Amino acid sequence: MRWTSQRLSNRKRKILKVYEDDVNKYASNADEHKIMQLYRSVPRRLAKETRSSNTARLKQVRV
């Protein structure tokens, strides 16, 4: 079986959906919204951290 980018994307979406379903299943109603906000912010936070560390490395190289 060959993994195309389309199939990989579908598989990733399914995995992420399972995580979201688990939050909905196990979190209290009061916590569910906060947890989902945090969960959905992780990619953006990681991208920001990566940009910051890359910028710091570039500054070190220039010095």
> What is the mean pLDDT for each group of 10 consecutive residues in the chain (63 residues)?
83 91 90 90 83 66 58
Structure pTM?
Answer: 0.56
Supply the pLDDT for residue 62: 60
Supply the pLDDT for residue 3: 75
Total structural domains within the chain: 1
Residue-number span of the structural domain to which 38 is assigned: 5-62
Q: Where are the alpha helices (DSSP H) in 5-62?
A: 5-26, 29-62
Token couple for 18? 């399972």
Across the chain, which distance is largest between two alpha carbons, in Å?
Answer: 52
DSSP structure class, residue 3: -
Token couple for 61? 């190289």
Taking the C-alpha atoms of residue 56 and residue 45, their distance in angstroms, rounded to an integer, is 17
